[in-house]
Structure 1
Amino acid sequence: MLKFFLLVNKQGQTRFSRYYNTQIQPEERVLMEAEISRKCLKRGDSQCSIFEFRNYKLAFRRYASLFFVIGFDEEKNHFAILELVQAYVEILNTYFDNVCELDIMFNIEKVHVILEEMVLNSRIVETNKNNVLAPVLEMDKASK
C-alpha cells in the first residue's frame, strides 16, 4: 500500500503532497517532508533510489528540478512503484506539454486529479496514459 506521494524541489520545498495514511498529524508531516527531502537531496546518482526511512520504504526519481517521492510499505513491489512515478511524470508531461514546477504550483488541482485517477485508496488502479487523461480532458472541455 502507498502511504504518501510527494513532489519536492531542489531547495527542499514540498510542492505537492498526498497522504493515504491519515494517522500522521500535520505537524509531523512537515517535519517528515523536510527530513525526506534532505535525504533525497543528499543521495548521489550512483546510490539506489529506493531506501528505508523510519518504518517506510521510499522510492524517488528526479526529473528536472523536482523529486517525485513515494512512501510505501514492505510488501509493495519496488519496481511497480518506480513505474508509477515514471507513468505519472509521462502523463503530467503530456497534459502540461513538458511539465515544470510552475505548472504544478499553478495547477495543483489538476495534479491531484491526475494522481487520483491513477491511485485509489492507496492502491495503483490505472497507469494507461489515455485512460488517466480522458476524464481530466473532459473536465477541461466542460469548464470552457
Structure 2
Amino acid sequence: MLFSEKHQIDIPDMQALYKSSHYRPRRQDNQIITVEHYYRVDLFICTVDKQLQELDSRFNEQAMELLTLGSSLLPIKDIKMFDIDNICLLVEKFYPTYFKEQEINLLRYQLELFGIEFLENPQLKDVSTIAQLCTM
C-alpha cells in the first residue's frame, strides 16, 4: 500500500493544466502551463529568490568580503582559481596585526613560486585539502 493511499493524501495530476487567478506566467499567454511546470520551475525559482534575499540580509559587506576572499584558500583544483591578489588582500585587510608589510611582500613572492611549482609538480595535482598540501 502506498504511503499516500494509507494516509488518504490526494496526489495532483502533474500533467493537468495549472490555473490560478494569482498566477501570471512569465511567458506568452498562449503557452500551456502544467501543474508540474508550476512546481518545478516557477515555484522553485520563487523559493530560491527568497532564500537568496534572506542570505543577502544576514551578512554585511565586510563579512561577505571575508567569505569571498577566504574562498581563495579552498583546495586548488585548477591553478586559475588560485588568486594571489585575493590571498594578499585577505591578509592585508583582515590580519594586519599578524603580518608586517615586508612579510606580505614575501608572501606574494612565495605564492607566485607555489603557483609555478603547482604547474610543474605532478604530485600536487592530487592534493585536495590544505592538510595534504602541508604534508607534501
Give TM-score, length-normalised by structure 2.
0.29
Give TM-score, length-normalised by structure 1.
0.28
- The structure with more strand, counted as a fraction of residues: 1
